[in-house]
Amino acid sequence: MSARRLLLVHAHPDDESLTTGGTIAHYARAGVEVTVLTCSLGEEGEVIGTAWAQLVADRADQLGGYRILELTRALDELGAAGPRFLGGAGRWRDSGMVGTAAAANPRAFVNADPQEAIGALVAVLREVRPHVVVCYDPDGGYGHPDHIQVHRFASAAFEAAGTTDFPDAGEPWDPAKLYWTVTDGAVLERELAAIAEVPAGWRRPGVGELPAVPTESVTAVIDVSHVLAAKRAAFRAHATQVTVAPSGTEYALSNNIVQPVLSEEHFVLVRGSSGPVGDDGREHDLFAGIAE
């Protein structure tokens, strides 16, 4: 077959690096055509430090534009093509959290017209023609409205892409597999326990503060230990959102909760057939079982 193709659908700039950065770098180095599709500019994000603090939504409201630059730099570090945005950059706005004024904005992604957004996703699927698609689980990982919306729309688009629905969105294409990006709870717990010293000003997470799923629900694991330098560099590219500890083994967001930089990334196969698995009963290649 032609070059293998991977499409990852994410909500905001930095999500691609935090949850799937190692996987992006791993497959980019293997010659896979990797496309990252982002659904908002992350305008409602908080900002770490003072250099860009005035860009936030209730001041200059320029953070979204700056985060396009951060995303471009991060994808370059990971070896992937430049960013793509659903409907074009700025079509939908970061929704913020539930109950905030941002979520009431008519342009917020949480208020997107489903037919328009799903149609736009179908058009990307038919253009890119990915063999594998990655999005979030039904909770969006940690409950953010935009992540949940990505799950809904990407799942619907995956089902529609190979049909005659959305006839103006290009020729039908059936992706082979759909995965959710998740974090194995046992691995997270183990790696948190291995952090001997928490950097000054940071704290350890409380119970349930970091999203994770039960080990038994994980169906695929990608070893990204060989691309950790690229993954860290991508984290650092999102400097308004992420701080990497001097050790390079931990990071924190604006909440100052310490998290490990994981050397493996976890997925759940939800559409398509599993390929060969390892002794652990899990796939170790998202393209496993897809015919050459």
Alpha helices, DSSP H, located in the chain: 15-29, 63-78, 114-128, 145-160, 185-193, 228-237
Q: Could you state, in order of their start, the residue ranges of all structural domains in the chain?
A: 5-271
Over residues 185-211, the pLDDT tens digits come to 999 999 999 999 999 999 999 999 999
Over residues 29-87, the pLDDT tens digits come to 999 999 999 999 999 999 999 999 999 999 999 999 999 999 999 999 999 999 999 99
Over residues 79-102, the pLDDT tens digits come to 999 999 999 999 999 999 999 999
As a CATH number, domain 5-271 is 3.40.50.10320
pLDDT at position 282 over 70:
yes
What residues pair up with 272 in beta bridges, in sequence order?
A: none
Give 54-59 contacts, CB < 8 A, sequence gap 24+. Answer: 55/240, 57/102
Over residues 10-26, the pLDDT tens digits come to 999 999 999 999 999 99
pLDDT at position 1 over 60:
no
Sheet holding 264-271, edge to edge: 84-85, 33-38, 5-10, 132-135, 177-182, 264-271, 220-223
Residue 192, helix vs strand vs coil:
helix
Residues whose CB falls within 8 Å of the CB of residue 111, separated by 6 or more in sequence, listed in order: 95, 103, 105
Give residue 292's pLDDT.
Answer: 74
Over residues 115-161, the pLDDT tens digits come to 999 999 999 999 999 999 999 999 999 999 999 999 999 999 999 99
pLDDT at position 2 over 80:
no
Of 115, 130, 120, the closest CA to residue 39 belongs to 120
Residues whose CB falls within 8 Å of the CB of residue 29, separated by 6 or more in sequence, listed in order: 79, 227
Over residues 222-233, the pLDDT tens digits come to 999 999 999 999
Residues whose CB falls within 8 Å of the CB of residue 193, separated by 6 or more in sequence, listed in order: none
**Distance (Å, rounded) from C-alpha 26 to C-alpha 257?**
27
- 171 DSSP 8-state letter: S
What the block records as the tokens of 129 is 């023609």
For residues 157-179, average pLDDT = 98
